[in-house]
């Protein structure tokens, strides 16, 4: 597992893209989530996962396959959902993070959009301190209201309801 995390941290793209899919298994187990949370270069690890959600990585525009985009979103949502892992949200909430999530909300793969909605709900503790960073999420969330999938629709409405608790964001939603 250590070599897979290192490949992701170091952005060794061919290996990293394969490792991300394998790391999804580890993110499902509490003991392994603790190990993942102790990555040496935690921000690089999450930055790589967020880049994968966006769909293209590296300077040459390497395309991230749909299963890897879904795996990256799943790892982040499982890590954020684990309330025992202190500091994960702070490590993920860096400049431009919500831009990656907004791109994931527009992904052609429905599963990626669902996981991104879960990530947004996990990040709402930053709603009052980082209101500006949530603005790019409004339009993609509203666009998802036209989807036929009940689960995505429910998650999208939940995100919009939560974001509308902030006065600035409410103006953008309405």
Q: Which mean pLDDT values do the consecutive 10-residue runs of the chain (174 residues) have?
A: 82 86 86 74 76 75 86 87 74 72 91 91 82 90 92 94 92 88
Beta bridge partners of 54: none
* Cα separation, 132 vs 147, whole angstroms: 26
* Model confidence, pTM: 0.80
DSSP H or E run through 32: helix 30-37
Q: How far is CA 30 from CA 35, 42, 78, 145, 174, in A?
A: 9, 17, 9, 33, 39
Q: Residue 41: what pLDDT? A: 62
Q: Where are the domains of the chain?
A: 1-92, 116-174
Burial of 105 from C-beta contacts in 10 A (0-12 / 13-18 / 19+): buried
């Amino acid at each position: 597992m250590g070599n897979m995390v290192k490949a992701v941290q170091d952005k060794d793209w061919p290996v990293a893209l394969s490792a991300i899919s394998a790391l999804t298994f580890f993110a499902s187990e509490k003991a392994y989530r603790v190990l993942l949370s102790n990555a040496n270069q935690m921000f690089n690890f999450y930055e790589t996962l967020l880049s994968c959600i966006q769909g293209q990585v590296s300077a040459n525009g390497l395309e991230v396959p749909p299963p890897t985009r879904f795996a990256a979103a799943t790892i982040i949502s499982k890590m954020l959902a684990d309330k025992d892992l202190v500091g994960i949200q702070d490590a993920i909430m860096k400049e431009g993070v919500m831009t990656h999530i907004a791109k994931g909300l527009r992904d052609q793969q429905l599963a990626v959009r669902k996981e991104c909605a879960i990530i947004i709900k996990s990040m709402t503790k930053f709603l009052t301190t980082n209101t500006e960073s949530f603005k790019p999420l409004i339009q993609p969330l509203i666009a998802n209201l036209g989807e036929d999938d009940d689960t995505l629709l429910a998650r999208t409405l939940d995100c919009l309801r939560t974001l509308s608790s902030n006065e600035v964001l409410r103006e953008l939603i309405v």
